[in-house]
Amino acid sequence: MFIINCPFCGEREQSEFKAGGEAHILRPKQPTELSDDEWAEYLFMRKNIKGVQFERWNHAHGCRKWFNMVRDTSNDEIKAVYKMGEKPPLE
């Protein structure tokens, strides 16, 4: 069970949060212009790496804000949290 540092509330138990998959996948602005393959890329393809991963998290039982997290999935070390819209911290 992690302790997550919500960018809005501070440190809270993981049980207050909900994971929301890979971060920084923008919904295409003009979906109708996309081919089936391009749309499928947005819709289905997600990374699942052993190592440093960018993820979306939601403080579901707290402030209900979405934010981003950089997490090493091999040891669950949380390297950074930052607000939606902010640039991901450089490696």
Site residues (vs other proteins, CB under 8 A)? 1-3, 13, 18, 20, 26-28, 30-32, 34, 36, 39-40, 43, 56, 58, 60, 64-66, 75-76, 84-85
- Interface residues for Zn ion in 59-88 (CB under 5 A)? 59, 62-63
Look up tokens 């081919």; give the residue. Answer: 35
Q: What letter would DSSP give residue 40?
A: H
Taking the CA atoms of 32, 47, 23 and 19 in sequence, report the sign of the dihedral they define: positive
Question: Which of Zn ion, other proteins, none has residue 84 at its interface (CB below 5 to 8 Å by kind)?
Answer: other proteins
CA distance 21 to 12: 19
CB of 5 to Zn ion, least distance (A): 10
